[in-house]
Chain A
Amino acid sequence: MTASPSVRRAVLVLLAAAALALPSAARANESAAGTKVDPGRAITSQLICPCSCGEVLSGCTCETGISLKGYVDRELKAGKDRKAIEASLVAKYGEVILGAPKAKGFNLVVWVAPFVATLLGFGIATIILSRWVRRKNALAFAPAGAAADTHPDSDPALAERRARAEAELRELKE
């Protein structure tokens, strides 16, 4: 007997919903996460200070960081938008200034793999659970006593007593 069709349908719907929801959730930016961030911080919180400190620019207090935050504020006041400011910084410092790599080329792997792995894990877990349910149902119709655990080591107390006796016998042999 297998898992009921309704359960399987429900699991499939859940998996499909998760497949759709997770990547879109991943695309959600900070403003979508509910914060009313100031435009300067919205940009600097996505950048890394290009000096060796490695801090996220919005929280960086080193000289380079403070100077770059000032640059972003000035560019915003001059009317430049986020894309233009980021592009100018990438042109100057390289992609290493971006706190997260762009989702293209080889770097797409880092964005996709965690969600693919999660969905794969859910899929495998569902298949395993379904098998266990099927096994249980099959055993329910098996002859009486077939499901009993008859392994001699299944009783931990017995196993320990036996190990202890073996150790004592060894001591006696010496």
Chain B
Amino acid sequence: MSEIGRLAILMAFLCAVWSVGSIAWGLRAGLAGPLRSGRNALWAVCGLTLVAVIILVRALMAHDFTYRYVAEHTSLDLAPLYSAASLWAGQEGSLLLWLLILSTYGAAFLWLYRKRLDPFYDAVAMVVASVAIFFTYLLAFICSPFRILANPPADGQGLNPLLQDPGMMIHPPILYTGYVGFIIPFAFGIAVLLMNRTGTRWIEEVRRWTLFSWMFLGFGILLGARWAYIELGWGGYWGWDPVENASLMPWLVGTAFLHSVMIEQRRGMLKTWNVALIVLTFELSIFGTFLTRSGVLTSVHSFAESSIGAWFMAFIIGSGTLATALILYRKALLESENRLDAIVSREGSFLFNNVLFVALTFATFLGTTFPVLSEAVTGSKISVSAPFFNRVNVPIGLALLLLTGAGPILSWKRATASVLQRNFIIPTVAGLVATLLSLPLGVRGIYPIVTVFGSAFVLATVVMEFARGLQARKDVAASRGAMAIIDLVTKNKRRYGGYIIHVGVVMIFVGVLGSTVFQKEAHEPLRTGQSMKIGDYTLTLKGTEQKMERSAALTRAVVDVSQNGKSFGESRPSKAMYFKSQQPMTEVALHQTPGEDLYLILGGVNDDGTVTLQAYINPLVSLIWAGGLVMLFGTIFTLSDRMRLRREEKEAA
């Protein structure tokens, strides 16, 4: 079967090459036949990749250790679902998943635009196929997942214990769906330049594709944070780890694009900037894969050890240079109307918002890659971790929060003094009142105060916008109460979906504020029967227990938890020692309430027989997860506008 898998990838590579060549010929000669052939070849890439994936997953689930990839990432004691999920546990499998999602996007694009006769859409398919060439080439010739071992072992090395979590079953595919999805906006942008296409219709198409990918990437990041919180056992959810940063960067630039694209749609401005943002978002998606897969961040020297790092670097430089050259070559095409009544306007606020998003991306990029740069220049190793990002990114993020509130209440073209006064007075008062109310609760320092002020400011602007919309609807329609709200938001899903997303952002900011500023921590070595206190909670060690599981030996601390004398029952934070990897893993015991989480970690059983118990109280952390879901809902709501449009188009037809 491995030969079939290898052949499928090789044929996918040839089909991708054919697709690009055929479409390029068709476009140049103005012939429909080659265009059709090129589109069919892209369909074939998707089908052949699916065959390869099925073969590999089958081998993983059957523990066929003749495959090197299977021997390296599974073992006989691994549960079937985790065996299947090992597809994305290693470099080769991850790249295969990348290619599957990429070619599925290509196929979905062909299906959705099958009735459009415009050759512009063939050019978009050609760009997708060009990227598929790169990935099929890597999988066919550089790092094939179908390599066979001459002497297969009796058992495999097993899956990294960190990945043996239900969250890992869905987190990587969702994240990849987001990452890879930026290929379509990128392909649209390049096709516009290649085909010398003007008009604004394509930008609306791109906005929807970007929003779709942005939603998946954001949700993937949220799932990753949740996984880190539960699985890594350090009391937090975001550690500014290079892998986390790699996913954040395209999301930030994508967010900048989703804002600036509104200016192009409404005012025909920022055309060059928008194409540049699309290109940058895609390049950062590839860069993220490069960061996580090349090993470059461990050390400069590991770069040379990686089999694909140099290939990725070459692809990023090559595609980035080509895209930049095309943008410069088609400069005249991207010339905008570029007329504005006043700097203080919604356009102005969106431009500053874009500057902050790009600056945040730059700071994250620089901090993530700086250890390598510094080692190369100075020869000594340094760390650039959470303490750096908290100092540099937090102020930029807070400035963004303030602009999140200001943008929607500034008028397009020009915000006059009377408009400013009318729109800003309520949110500013709300911000000040919230700040004053937060002071007795213990909020101190510039960052927390700006967070409280900014959050209240943004919420007030959203409420105000809803109230004004309702008033306007009441003037023209007879609907009242809940019906009026439903009527209002469904009539302009794009605008109100955006406001819902802003509410989610505020919830996340408040959750981060609560869980960092008001976090409590205690750690103590306890003997059986002894207690420790954290906040209102009393934790009493009742003993320890051992348990053998399929792939690990568990040591558990049995802890009685009570709050103000009221017992919550027993918690069992544990340490698992995995047989295969001999890696100790922390299993957190979590008491979750809407207000706060009690987070218990077993530090270890000491030589003197005591048990070190580490406890955190993380207030408002549930707001982060809820805020993420609100953002997800807001995005789906915004996207559903397209569904309505399609239905109306169909009905009209």
Contact = CB atoms under 8 A, between A and B. Distances in A.
A76 interface: no
B338 A114 contact: no
A87 interface: no
Q: Is the interface of A mostly helix, strand, loop or mixed?
A: helix
Nearest to A124: B355
Interface string A125-138: 11011111101100
Contacts of A122: 352, 355
B595 interface: no
Nearest to A149: B337
A117 B362 contact: yes
A104 to B, nearest CB: 11
Contacts of A27: 391
A153 B198 contact: yes
Interface string B358-386: 11001100110010001001101111111
Nearest to B117: A167
Interface string A60-103: 11110010010000000000000000000000001111111100
Interface string B392-421: 100110000000000000000000000000
B381 A94 contact: yes
Contacts of A66: 603-604, 612
A106 interface: yes
Interface stretch (B60-68, B213-221, B228-236): B228-236
Interface size class, chain A: 35 or more
A124 B197 CA distance: 28
Contact of A153 (B30, B32, B199, B445): B199
B385 A96 contact: no
Residue of A11, A33, A130, A155 with most chain B CB atoms under a 10 A cut-off: A33
A63 to B, nearest CB: 7
A135 B339 contact: yes
B386 A170 contact: no
A139 B380 CA distance: 58
B170 interface: no
A128 B117 contact: no
B343 A118 contact: no
Contact of A35 (B351, B354, B516): B516
Interface in B332-357: 337-344, 347-348, 351-352, 354-356
Contacts of B120: 163
A100 B387 contact: yes
Contact of A59 (B235, B351, B390): B235
B266 interface: no
Contacts of B340: 129, 132-133, 135-136
A32 interface: yes
Specify which of A29, A34, A139 lies most central, judged by the most chain B CB atoms within 10 Å of its CB.
Answer: A34
Nearest to A55: B234
B119 A163 contact: yes
A106 B362 contact: no
B614 interface: yes
Contact of B388 (A41, A110, A139): A110
B643 interface: no
Among B199, B354, B382, B521: residue with most chain A CB under 10 A? B382
Interface string B601-630: 101100000001010000000000000000
Nearest to B267: A132
A168 B377 CA distance: 60
A34 B445 contact: yes
Contacts of B199: 153-156, 159-160
B359 A114 contact: yes
Contact of B447 (A28, A97, A125, A135): A28
B118 interface: yes
Interface string A26-45: 11111111111010010001
B343 A133 contact: yes
A164 B352 CA distance: 39
Contact of A174 (B33, B395, B447): B33
Contacts of A61: 233-234, 586, 601, 603, 614
Contact of A101 (B338, B384, B390, B604): B384
Interface string B104-143: 0000000000000111100000000000000000000000
A99 B586 contact: no
A100 B388 contact: yes
Contacts of B362: 113-114, 117
B343 to A, nearest CB: 5
A125 B351 CA distance: 7
A34 B367 contact: no
A160 B233 contact: no
B448 A129 contact: no
A133 B363 CA distance: 30
Given A28-B391, A101-B374, A133-B341, A163 B359 contact: no
Given A105-B378, A174-B31, A110 B603 contact: no
B352 A125 contact: yes
Contacts of B392: 26, 111, 114-115
A132 B338 contact: yes
B30 A170 contact: yes
A114 B366 contact: yes
Contacts of B390: 30
Contacts of A121: 355-356, 358-359
Given A34-B443, A154-B198, A160 B118 contact: yes
B476 interface: no
Contacts of B586: 61
A21 B447 CA distance: 12
Nearest to A98: B383
B331 interface: no
Nearest to B443: A34
Nearest to A130: B343
Contacts of A109: 370
Contact of A60 (B33, B234, B445, B612): B234
Interface in A140-162: 147, 149, 151, 153-156, 159-160
Given A125-B351, A174-B32, 7 more contacts: A28-B391, A28-B447, A34-B442, A34-B444, A110-B388, A118-B355, A163-B119
Interface of A: 3, 7, 11, 21-22, 25-36, 38, 41, 45-46, 48, 54-56, 58-63, 66, 69, 94-101, 105-107, 109-111, 113-115, 117-118, 121-122, 124-126, 128-133, 135-136, 139, 147, 149, 151, 153-156, 159-160, 163-164, 166-168, 170-171, 173-174
Interface of B: 30-33, 117-120, 197-201, 232-236, 239, 241, 269, 337-344, 347-348, 351-352, 354-356, 358-359, 362-363, 366-367, 370, 374, 377-378, 380-388, 390-392, 395-396, 442-449, 516-519, 521, 523, 584, 586, 601, 603-604, 612, 614
A-B CB proximity, top 8 nearest: A59-B234, A34-B445, A99-B387, A114-B363, A100-B388, A121-B355, A156-B199, A132-B340
13 contacts: A31-B445, A33-B447, A58-B521, A59-B239, A60-B234, A66-B603, A95-B383, A113-B362, A133-B340, A136-B339, A154-B198, A155-B199, A174-B33
